[in-house]
Structure 1
Amino acid sequence: MFATLYSRLAAALMTVFIAIGAIMILASQRMLETQRLFELATDLIVGTVLFSLIAALVVFRFLTIRLRRLAAAIEAFRASGFATPARIEQAGGSDDEIGQLVAAFQEMSERIAMQLAQLSRVDHERRELLANVSHDLRTPLASMQGYLETMLIKANGLSPEDRMRYLQIAVKQCERLGRLVRDLFDLTKLEANEVRPKVEAFPLGELAQDVVQKLALSAQRRGQMLSADVSTECPIRADIGMMERVLENLIENAMRYTPEGGKINVSVRAAGERVAMQVTDSGRGIHPEDLGSVFDRYYRANRGQSGDTGNAGLGLAIARRIVELHGGQIRVESTLGQGTTFTVELSAASADQPAG
C-alpha cells in the first residue's frame, strides 16, 4: 500500500496533522471562552506553520541523504574510469522511487564495467592478432622472396635440381600463405554470421573414416600412426563440408603437436541423443593454465618443440565456431606428458526429420 516514497510521506504528514487536530479539539472542549478560542486558533495556525517548516526540513534531509549517497557513488564510479561497479548500501526503503533509482544505477554501472572489461580484452586480443598475423605473413613471404631472389641472382649458376628445389620451397611457402589467408577469411565470415550451414543427414562415422584416409599419408610422413574407431552409424544433421573442416582442423592440430612415433585416433560413438566424436593424440599435452584459451583466435599454447611454428593458430577457433553454429559442444581434456583429447558432441538426426 505504501510502496512509493510519496505515499509514505503523505501518510506520515496526515498522521501528524490528525494528531495535532485531535489535541486541539480536546483542548477546545475545556475552554469555551471566546477569547480563549481565538488564542487557540492562533496557536493552531502558528503550530501548523512551524510543523510544516520542520516537516519540510525533515523530508528534505531524508531525501538528500540518500541522493547524496547516490551522487557520491556516481562520482566514485567516474573517478575509477567506469571500471569499478558502484556499491550503495540501502538500509530501508529500497522499493521506493529513490531505491529503484539506486538499483538501476548499480545495475547500469555493473554492465558498463563489464562492457569496458570486454572491450579491453578485445582490444588486447586485436593487438595480439595483428602481431601474430604480421609474423605469420612475414615468415613465408621472406622465405619466398629469398629463394626467388637467389634464383634470379644465380640464374646461370644453379643446377636444374637446385632450381627445382628452390621452386618447390617457394610453392610450399605460397601454400602456407594461402592457408593463412583462407583461415582468416573463413573465421571472419563465421564470426560475422555470414555463413549458414547447409544441413543434411549423414553418418559422421563415414566422414571420419574418409578424412582419416585422406590425411593418413601426411601422418605417415611425420612418422605418426593415424587411425579411426567408429562404433555407431547414427547419422547427424549438419553441413558435411563444415564438419569435414572441423575434422581436418582437429586432426592437423593433433599431428602438429604429436612427436614422431606418436598415435592419433579418431573415434565416433553414440552418447544418448547425441553423437560424440573424439580426436585423441599421444603428444606432450597442454598445460592446465592454457586449456581455457586453446579455442581463442591466434592463441598458441607452448607444447614443446614438436609444435609447428608456421601454424597461424586459427584452426581450433574455426572448429569451435562451426560446432556452435550447429548447436553442438566442443571441449578439450589434456594431461601433460600423456596427450590431449578434443571432443565434439552433436545432436543425432531423428528418424522423422527430413533429409534436406
Structure 2
Amino acid sequence: MTTDPTTPSPNPAADASPLRDSARRTLEIEQQAVAALGSRLDSHFDRACELMLACQGRVVVTGMGKSGHIAGKIAATLASTGTPAFFVHPGEASHGDLGMITPGDVVLALSNSGETAEVTAILPLLKRMGTPLISMTGHPDSTLARHADAHLDAGVAREACPLDLAPTASTTAALALGDAVAVALLEARGFTAEDFARSHPGGSLGKRLLLRVCDLMHQGERLPSVPLGSPLRDALLEVTRQGLGFTCVVDEQNRLIGVYTDGDLRRTLDQHHDFRRLTVDDVMTRPGKRISPDVLAAEAVRVMEDNRITALAVVDDEGHPVGALHMHDLLRSGVI
C-alpha cells in the first residue's frame, strides 16, 4: 500500500526531515536578524533619509559581492518609489566609473565588514568631491562607518550559514533595511499610486494604475439613458438594449437625476403589482453612484466594491452623463 504524500502523517516523528529542520533554523535566524533592526534605528537613520531627500542629483548605491547584489536591488527599489538612484560597481568606480558620481549626488555604500577594499578605496575621492556618504555596515566602528555622514547599522548576531561564513542573515538584514529607507522616503515625498505607475508603465501593473475611467467607459450610442417621466417599460427596454445592468435618468438639461438598475427592478417586483402606470421616477435610485471620467480606473473598482454595485454612471463637472462603466470592462482590461 502506498502513502499519499499530500496526506498528513498521524505520526509526528515520520515528518522529521533534516532538510526542513535546517530550513526552519535559517528562517528563524533571519527573522531574528530583521526584527533586531528596529531597535537600532536612531538619528543616523533620520540623517540618511534627510540627505537623500535633499539630494539634487541621484542616490548612487554601491557594494561588492553579495552586498553588491543587495545594493543593486536597493537602487532599483529607490528608483521605482520616487528617489532617483542607480548602482555603481565599486571596483569599476576606481577604474573610471567614479566619473558617474557628481557632488550633487549622495552615495549609499554597503559592506557588512565595513572594510571592503574596493569600497574604502573610493572614500578619499568622495570626500574630495564633497559628495555625502551614507554607509550600511554590520560594524559601526569600521572604516566605512566612521567616515560616513550617516551610518545605518545592519549588523546581525550570526549568519544562518552553520559555518557563520556565507552572507545570509546579513544580506537579508541589509535588504530589509534598504526597503525601510525606500518606504520612509516614499511616505515623506507623498508618493502616490499614480507616481508609481509612471515608473511601471509596462505589464499589468502599469495597466492597472494608469488606465482612467474615460479609457474604458461606454459612450455615445452605448450610453444608456432615458428622460425623467419615462414609462417604466421604456427604462427596462433601455437596460436590456445596452446590457450594462442600468440606465441613467436625466432631466431636460441632460443632468443625471438618478439611475434605474437591475437591483431596482427586483425591488420593483417585490413592491408593485401593476407596472403599467409606473414611471421610472417612481422606482429609480436617487441620485445614483457616479464617477468622473478623469478618475483612475482603480478608484472605480474601489467605489464599486464599497457599494456592492457592478456599474457606474460617468458624469462631467456639470453632472451630465458622458459614459457608463461596468465591472466587466475593468475585468477585460486587466485592472482587476
TM-score by length of 2: 0.23
Structure having the higher Rg: 1
Which has the larger share of helix? 1
